[in-house]
């Protein structure tokens, strides 16, 4: 995998978690900056969610190192903008008692450029916590917070982006059993 499967998988997973099932994908990918790789180093995709919302995911390994990841969610009743892990905007038509608490909890801090500028900046904490939950789930006889089904959904979305890019056609989800060799 290239920029989508290796770097953008986490943003795809976040969008799926926030927005729900994806029903339709369009995409373009290319290799523009890295001559000797067999995968994309740049891509843009549009997603239509089952609830009617539309999302855009840009992925690249061709940008200048240190470019911050950004997630923006805009709707008729509000906006949230997150850069790295900092909440830049949290504005909604209907006020909620938790708004100030959320703004305070995720207020902008010291800029962290993440793994794009420094691979050593990638924390192990998320993986550790996920593995701890998995072990506890087995011990307690419960489902883990993150299961393989959810993980496969994110992979399926990226495979649909690749298929849309290769075929230059809109791809509907769920995919056929083997969309690559179809």
Q: What is the mean pLDDT of residues 135-151?
A: 92
Tokens of 178: 């083997």
pLDDT for 22: 98
User: Reduced to 3 states, what is the DSSP secondary structure of residue 157?
Assistant: helix
Q: Please say whether the beta carbons of 75 and 92 come within 8 A.
A: no
Q: What is the pTM of this model?
A: 0.82
Distance CA 175, CA 162 (A): 12
Weakest-pLDDT range from 17-26, 59-68, 164-173 = 59-68
pLDDT at 181 over 80: no
| Higher pLDDT pick, 27 / 37 | 27
Q: Which domains are assigned to the chain?
A: 3-67+113-172 (3.30.360.10)
Distance CA 43, CA 105 (A): 33
């Amino acid at each position: 995998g290239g920029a989508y499967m290796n770097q953008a998988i986490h943003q795809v997973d976040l969008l799926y978690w926030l927005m729900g099932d994806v029903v339709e994908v369009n995409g373009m990918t290319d290799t523009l900056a890295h001559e000797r790789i067999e995968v994309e180093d740049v891509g843009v995709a549009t997603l239509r969610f089952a609830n009617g919302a539309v999302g855009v995911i840009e992925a690249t390994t061709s940008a200048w190192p240190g470019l911050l990841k950004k997630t923006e969610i805009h709707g008729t009743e509000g906006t949230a903008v997150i850069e790295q892990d900092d909440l830049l905007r949290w504005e909604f038509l209907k006020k909620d008692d938790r708004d100030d608490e959320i703004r305070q909890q995720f207020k902008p801090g010291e800029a962290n450029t993440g793994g794009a500028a420094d691979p050593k900046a990638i924390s192990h904490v998320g993986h550790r916590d996920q593995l701890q939950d998995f072990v506890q789930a087995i011990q307690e006889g419960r489902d883990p917070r993150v299961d393989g089904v959810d993980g496969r959904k994110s992979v399926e979305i990226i495979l649909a982006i690749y298929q849309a890019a290769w075929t230059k056609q809109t791809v509907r989800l769920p995919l056929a059993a083997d969309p690559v060799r179809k």
